[in-house]
Structure formats: structure tokens, C-alpha cells
Amino acid sequence: MNKKEAMERLTAIFRDVFDDDEIVLTETTSAKDIEDWDSLEHINLIAAVEKAFKMRFTMKEVSGMKNVGEMADIVCERAKR
């Protein structure tokens, strides 16, 4: 999986979790860019991404992610394994 594919899939997941079809993700998108992205929705988002990509993030990865681009990088790296 390449980063473009990961970003497309992540966009669909974000739109579903936040119930907003207007969301357009970029690599720099972060919680401050999406109004409803609070700590509870972050947990829901991580769970949805893990389910969609059939993977699990480590606590270090979750706490270290600064933006969607970093999330996509992790997803792509895991897809290679």
C-alpha cells in the first residue's frame, strides 16, 4: 500500500467516525483542524483505523502521532510486514 492509498482510506474512515462528508485530509491534518476531534473521538478513530487496516497501534505510536501523515506512514509500514 502506498501513502496515497492509505490517505484515501483514512479519509473515508475519518468521514465515518466524525460523520462529516466534507472532511478533506492532508498529511498535516491534526486534531486542531477537525472540530469534533476530542479525546473520546480520538479513541474511536484509533479503533476504527485499527479495524479497517486489521492492525494494532502501540501506545508509543498513538501518543507520538502528531498528524494524519504520521498515521498514514505507520499504516503503510505495517502493510509491508
Residues 9 and 52 sit within 8 Å (Cβ to Cβ): yes
The highest-level CATH class for domain 3-80 is mainly alpha
Residue written as grid cell 491534526 = 30
Please tell me the pTM assigned to this model: 0.93
Residues with Cβ < 8 Å from 48, sequence gap 6 or more?
A: 13, 16, 17
81 residues of the chain, pLDDT tens digit each: 999 999 999 999 999 999 999 999 999 999 999 999 999 999 999 999 999 999 999 999 999 999 999 999 999 998 876
Break the chain into its structural domains and give their ranges. Answer: 3-80
